[in-house]
Chains A and B, each alone.
Chain A
Amino acid sequence: MKLPSKRFADAVVVAPAGRIDQSNADAFKDALAPHLERCAPGEDRVVLDLTRLEYISSAGLRILMLAAKQCKTQGGTLVLAGLQPLVKEIFEISRFTMVFDITSSLREALARASSSALTAFETA
């Protein structure tokens, strides 16, 4: 799976697009793995920009849940941003809003990640 990413200082913004369901959940997991490995103090903060995500099934939510667990275990920071209304409803109904740190915009997510990431974003 192609998973575009962009760096803002010490934060990496990863932006999945389209649909994540049982058919591509494993590919999403594999594509996300290198970013999660570096999600730790002194390394990267990871922001998942879901602006272009149209749909996510329970299989996809599970991958995000595993990502949150991994980042927490490593002491890292994972923030989700830009959920579209339908995706936001799926998060709310499945109660995953209680599992993740979710912000309404990429700017807010980068501010949550670090001040240097926000500065890099605003001066880019």
Chain B
Amino acid sequence: MRVRFWGTRGSLPVALTSDAVKRKVMGALLKAIGKPLATVEQVEAFVAQELAAPQTYGGNSSCVQIDIGGDDYLLCDMGSGARVFANHVMTKGPKKSNTFHVVMSHMHWDHIMGFPFFVPAYIPGNTIIIYGCHEVLESAFRRQHAAPSFPVEFAQLPARIEFVRLETGVTYDIAGVEVRAMRQRHGGDSYGYRFEHQGKAAVYSTDSEHKLEDSAETDEFVEFFQDADLVIFDAMYSLADATTVKEDWGHSSNVVGVELCQRARVKHFCMFHHDPFADDDQLTAVLRDTRRFEEITRGEHPPLEISTAYDGMDLVL
């Protein structure tokens, strides 16, 4: 199973400013002082060694691909990252038709905003099947295409588009992957999904607040995450913010994510849905802190790999 991140930002897409790019270039040039950089090969070696970590976390709102190498595509959410995914598919060259399966966490704008710019929807012969647990699954997609929000009505889209309602507690076969949903605490509810294929398991759990006083709910999440190879987790805020000024905003923290994954014996904890107010330096600091938190609280738990998702990240489980 391969997991590819096309959009990782929460709430609203963000872009690097010119000043931020200049600071990054400045940092790279300072690292390069005294290094041999006379040839393309030397520069490539320098970049591979000194700039190996992601240089920015990006940009686009939620869209993650679960790839098991089949003919169909399987995506989580239709944030602005779906546009980049679609462009990637288009570069593969002409094909008679494609089928895209999209599993929706919820219908908030940052999770559907990529669909009007999802090129496969404009190509006859393509099939797009959108799955979700919300009653408003279909109406939310139709509404954002309606005037005055967008110039192309949903009914005009040439691709065949279907909507399939899912239920929690049921295991579905979607594009050859076993999929199970779990209701999460978020405004209007959201749903996390567990994907399993050939002994590998990945959980997509974004836009989910965890109430620390509800131990039964905590236990349910531990069961849902149990022994997963990867948990993609809404770590938008610090624990202090998530339990004080941003309580009931529907998001969680790095600390709670680590604790849940430790209890569930997860292998890889991936922080996702980054606060649009957090810049690259802040996200890098949070990653460093989170790895340290895991280290000092590990106890008898197995070591937990920790990463921060970035646009373009590609994980093989």
Contacts and interface: CB of A to CB of B under 8 A. Distances in A.
Given A58-B212, A62-B212, A93-B293, A99 B244 contact: yes
Interface string B36-73: 00000000000000000000000000000000000000
Contacts of A104: none
Contacts of B243: 61-62, 65
Given A55-B297, A58-B259, A93 B218 contact: no
Interface residues of B, number: 21
A57 B259 contact: yes
B238 to A, nearest CB: 4
Interface in A52-88: 55, 57-59, 61-62, 65, 69, 86
B308 interface: no
B215 A22 contact: yes
A96 B239 contact: yes
A38 to B, nearest CB: 24
B84 to A, nearest CB: 32
Interface of A: 22, 25, 55, 57-59, 61-62, 65, 69, 86, 89-90, 92-96, 98-99
Nearest to B238: A95
26 contacts: A22-B212, A22-B218, A57-B259, A57-B297, A58-B253, A58-B255, A58-B259, A59-B212, A59-B213, A61-B239, A62-B243, A65-B240, A65-B243, A65-B244, A86-B296, A89-B292, A89-B293, A90-B293, A92-B289, A93-B254, A94-B238, A94-B240, A95-B238, A95-B240, A96-B240, A99-B244
A95 B259 contact: no
A93 B255 contact: yes
B296 A89 contact: yes
B212 to A, nearest CB: 4
Contact of A62 (B213, B238, B241, B289): B213
Contacts, number: 53
Contact of A94 (B215, B218, B255): B255
A23 to B, nearest CB: 9
Contacts of B218: 22
Contacts of B254: 93
B293 to A, nearest CB: 5
A58 B292 contact: no
B104 to A, nearest CB: 29
A121 B170 CA distance: 62
A32 to B, nearest CB: 15
B231 interface: no
A96 B253 CA distance: 12
A11 to B, nearest CB: 25
B159 to A, nearest CB: 44
Contacts of A86: 296
Nearest to A56: B297
B256 interface: yes
- A-B pairs, top 6 by smallest CB distance, nearest first, are A95-B238, A94-B239, A95-B240, A62-B212, A93-B289, A93-B293
A89 B294 CA distance: 11
Nearest to B291: A93
B290 interface: yes
Interface string B207-242: 000001101001000000000000000000011110
Nearest to A61: B239
A58 B243 CA distance: 10
B239 A98 contact: no
